[in-house]
Amino acid sequence: MSQQGREEHFDLARFVLGYLTQKGSIVAPVVYGAHETLLPDDLAAHLGVDAYLNLRFDAEEADADDESLRLSVNHPLVDRLAADLLQAEANSEVYINHLRLDKKGLLEQAEKNIGIANARISPKKGAMEQQALHHYLRFNFKVTFVSDEKQESLASIVMDGQNGYAIADPQHLQRLFSTETTPGYPHMSVAPPRWLGADAIDSTTTYQALLSRAKIALEAQLAERIQAMQNRIQRFLELDQARIEEYYDALEDDLRRRLERTESNEAGRRKSAEEKLAAVQAERAAKLTDILARYQLRLEVELVNVQRIVQPKVMLPVEIGDRRLTVIRYVVWDPLVHELEPLVCDVCGQPGDQLHLCAGGHLAHEACLAPQCIDCKREYCQLCAEQVQACVVCGEPVCRPSTITCPQCKRGTCRAHQNLCHAADGAPAVLTPAQTKAAPVAPPVAATPPPSSRTSAASKTGDRARQASNTGRSSKSTSSTPGSSKKPQPVHPPAKSQEPKTTAKKVQVVLSATEPALLVLAMRSANRPYATRAIELQPNGILVSCECEKEKCPADGWLFRPATAEHLAHQIEQMVEKVRAEYNVPASRVEYYTLYALDRRPLRGFTLPPVWFDEVRLELARQGFDAER
């Protein structure tokens, strides 16, 4: 992640200095990390700073006697520049006028068309339909695909300012085109944004959040094209590789034949032929590396300009609630498309029908909910996931209000297992498969199940032994001990008492959208992990490293040869699966996130981001892996 930080720095410097230069300032080259900058007087006055500035962008040590101005993303000056720039870029503000705004009966329509899965929509006392201006931001990007050739194109993403999501419907997008530059409703107030994380509609915070969401939408929009280009590049790469191999094969064959014909007493000629052969081999390797670099696909995205689109809508505050809780949301009529807008999921930020009301007051898609409490059936969303914990006996989800905390051992259980939390010599009781509703922990997939009933224990040890030749643990400890024969326990190995298996609350998988890297976190609590396992594509293979509660983690520091593109997702998923099994977490409590420019958003399941499928990079990693063997 440090690289991401650095990139941000770089962008900030470019952003600030670029702006100042454009406005007529003189910026000297960097000296000792600082830029001497001379601003025109009117610009300095406008920004409220001195005309002479010594600007720094490194966030590190601040010397006390240093008079330079150290800028970071949150610095007020940067905010002011961004606001200025926003105004300048959005100066193509357009309006959508002449709409019929006398819409009534929104409540009835909302009850009919929107609906909440587990709650009712009802009128808010004294509330009336009201008109308010709504904003869209059209972000125009220049996208450059760089590989053996360069392809440039323009792409635009329209973000709904009040709802926070990208407009996807082509017909809606078409209607949002306008050339009208005169406001049709100059006295109408502007509706505040209705999504989590937004500030005022024209604030920098809101703008930045919308921009980063627009970039995610852009990436999704380009995914197919990127894949197609990668396939094309791959084909050309293979052709070129074949050509090079063929050419050098012929050259080497020729040299070898010559060597064979050379008598052993002609030392001089032999030596020269051998040298030639070595040179040819080196040249072949260099050529192959060269074309790999040439066929690397890189994507550059640059924001060209932003257009603000202003349109009036009709909104009505309503109550959404059940017997426990009521929240207020706005039902909004869009007179441009003649439709009621769907409500927004607070977890993923996307619109949805039949959202669920979370006991924490959020609205969420069914897929954006945390596991439901088995006792009271309350529903919490993933933002409130820490409200749901696992019963220490059965591992099923139990919400905080329903958790029964043992006065003796302080562990929490569900209602059914109230007395079992310290039943096994002070440890939680171990349920046999017949007793438990939850599926038993699956054995590692890679291992072939032996005929014995102790599948999990036996295959696990075998698996580990194959990877690490010296685990220091004798296989005796996991084979049957005299005491273990009386009670068959297929799920938990008999060695459990010597080496208690750690049970994590949940597993979080965080997939970077920009780097072939992911983190798998086995969580001890809502924000403290037992284990942080990093899986990343390196020039010499897929590196798995682990920081965890174990003194010496057997999973730490392994390299794997990347599978073929077809099997890569499965290969990585198995690595995630290992963590889940290791920490006893049921599949229902694995959460997936994508990370884009520090913005973490939930995913529905495991999908390997496109950035992994860079065949050139994968092939290099395979070659790097093989070279070290």
- What stretch of H or E contains 535? strand 529-538
- Contact with Zn ion (CB under 5 A) among 270, 284, 422, 561: 422
* Spatial distance between the Cα atoms of 160 and 135, rounded to a whole number of angstroms: 7
Binding mask 285-324 for Zn ion (x = CB under 5 A): ----------------------------------------
Phi, psi of 449 (to 5 degrees): -70, 120
161 belongs to the binding site for Zn ion (CB under 5 A): no
Listed in order, strand segments (DSSP E) in 16-171 are: 26-27, 34-38, 52-56, 69-70, 94-95, 120-123, 130-146, 150-160
**Parallel, antiparallel or unpaired: strands 343-344 and 150-160:** unpaired
- Contact with Zn ion (CB under 5 A) among 343, 348, 431, 572: 348
383 belongs to the binding site for Zn ion (CB under 5 A): yes
Least Å distance, CB 121 to Zn ion, is 18
Contacts (Cβ under 8 Å, ≥6 apart) of 558: 467, 543, 544
509 belongs to the binding site for Zn ion (CB under 5 A): no
544 belongs to the binding site for Zn ion (CB under 5 A): no
529 belongs to the binding site for Zn ion (CB under 5 A): no
CB nearer to Zn ion: give 34 or 548: 548
Structural tokens at position 583: 């920490």
99 belongs to the binding site for Zn ion (CB under 5 A): no
Judged by CB under 5 A, the chain residues 178 through 197 that form the site for Zn ion are: none
Q: Which span (109-117, 211-219, 372-380, 503-511) binds Zn ion, by CB under 5 A?
A: 372-380
> Binding residues for Zn ion, how many (CB under 5 A)?
32
369 belongs to the binding site for Zn ion (CB under 5 A): no
CB nearer to Zn ion: give 193 or 335: 193
358 belongs to the binding site for Zn ion (CB under 5 A): yes
Least Å distance, CB 501 to Zn ion, is 13
- Contact with Zn ion (CB under 5 A) among 17, 347, 385, 457: 347
34 belongs to the binding site for Zn ion (CB under 5 A): no
Least Å distance, CB 239 to Zn ion, is 44
CB nearer to Zn ion: give 307 or 382: 382
Contact 499, 514 (CB under 8 A): no
- Contact with Zn ion (CB under 5 A) among 417, 454, 492, 505: 417
617 belongs to the binding site for Zn ion (CB under 5 A): no
- Contact with Zn ion (CB under 5 A) among 71, 82, 158, 384: 384
* Spatial distance between the Cα atoms of 405 and 421, rounded to a whole number of angstroms: 9
421 belongs to the binding site for Zn ion (CB under 5 A): yes
Binding mask 551-570 for Zn ion (x = CB under 5 A): --x-x---------------
Q: Which span (16-24, 25-33, 377-385, 482-490) binds Zn ion, by CB under 5 A?
A: 377-385
Least Å distance, CB 165 to Zn ion, is 10
464 belongs to the binding site for Zn ion (CB under 5 A): no
Q: Which span (74-82, 104-112, 497-505, 541-549) binds Zn ion, by CB under 5 A?
A: 541-549
Least Å distance, CB 411 to Zn ion, is 5
**Parallel, antiparallel or unpaired: strands 599-603 and 541-547:** unpaired
- Contact with Zn ion (CB under 5 A) among 360, 443, 444, 609: 360
* Spatial distance between the Cα atoms of 181 and 172, rounded to a whole number of angstroms: 20
* Spatial distance between the Cα atoms of 626 and 233, rounded to a whole number of angstroms: 23
Q: Which span (57-65, 319-327, 406-414, 563-571) binds Zn ion, by CB under 5 A?
A: 406-414
- Contact with Zn ion (CB under 5 A) among 414, 519, 542, 576: 414
Nearest by Cα to 145 from 90, 199, 223: 223
Count of CB atoms within 10 A of residue 410's CB? 9
507 belongs to the binding site for Zn ion (CB under 5 A): no
381 belongs to the binding site for Zn ion (CB under 5 A): yes
Q: Which span (125-133, 208-216, 473-481, 545-553) binds Zn ion, by CB under 5 A?
A: 545-553
One-letter amino acid identity for 523? M
CB nearer to Zn ion: give 226 or 363: 363
DSSP string, 249-283: HHHHHHHHHHHHHS-TT-HHHHHHHHHHHHHHHHH
368 belongs to the binding site for Zn ion (CB under 5 A): yes
Contact 411, 377 (CB under 8 A): no
Least Å distance, CB 377 to Zn ion, is 7
* Spatial distance between the Cα atoms of 330 and 314, rounded to a whole number of angstroms: 10
* Spatial distance between the Cα atoms of 137 and 162, rounded to a whole number of angstroms: 10
Least Å distance, CB 604 to Zn ion, is 9
393 belongs to the binding site for Zn ion (CB under 5 A): yes
* Spatial distance between the Cα atoms of 103 and 618, rounded to a whole number of angstroms: 57
Q: Which span (212-220, 291-299, 346-354, 457-465) binds Zn ion, by CB under 5 A?
A: 346-354
Q: Which span (43-51, 235-243, 505-513, 540-548) binds Zn ion, by CB under 5 A?
A: 540-548
CB nearer to Zn ion: give 51 or 423: 423
Q: How far is CA 572 from CA 226, 505, 621, in A?
A: 21, 22, 15
431 belongs to the binding site for Zn ion (CB under 5 A): no
Least Å distance, CB 407 to Zn ion, is 8
Q: Is 24 exposed, middle or buried (0-12, 13-18, 19+ CB in 10 A)?
A: exposed
CB nearer to Zn ion: give 421 or 621: 421
DSSP string, 304-369: EEEEEEEEEEEEEEEEEE-SS-EEEEEEEEETTTTEEPPEE-TTT--EESSBEEPTTS-EE-GGGB
* Spatial distance between the Cα atoms of 106 and 123, rounded to a whole number of angstroms: 10
| DSSP symbol at 381 | B
Nearest by Cα to 349 from 212, 538, 553: 212
Q: How far is CA 559 from CA 329, 540, 624, in A?
A: 50, 8, 11
- Contact with Zn ion (CB under 5 A) among 179, 408, 474, 527: 408
Q: Which span (82-90, 93-101, 348-356, 573-581) binds Zn ion, by CB under 5 A?
A: 348-356
* Spatial distance between the Cα atoms of 14 and 25, rounded to a whole number of angstroms: 14
Contacts (Cβ under 8 Å, ≥6 apart) of 27: 17, 20, 21, 35, 36, 37
Binding site for Zn ion (CB under 5 A): 345, 347-348, 358, 360, 362, 365, 368, 373, 375-376, 378, 381, 383-384, 391, 393-394, 399, 402, 406, 408-409, 414, 417, 421-422, 531, 546, 548, 553, 555
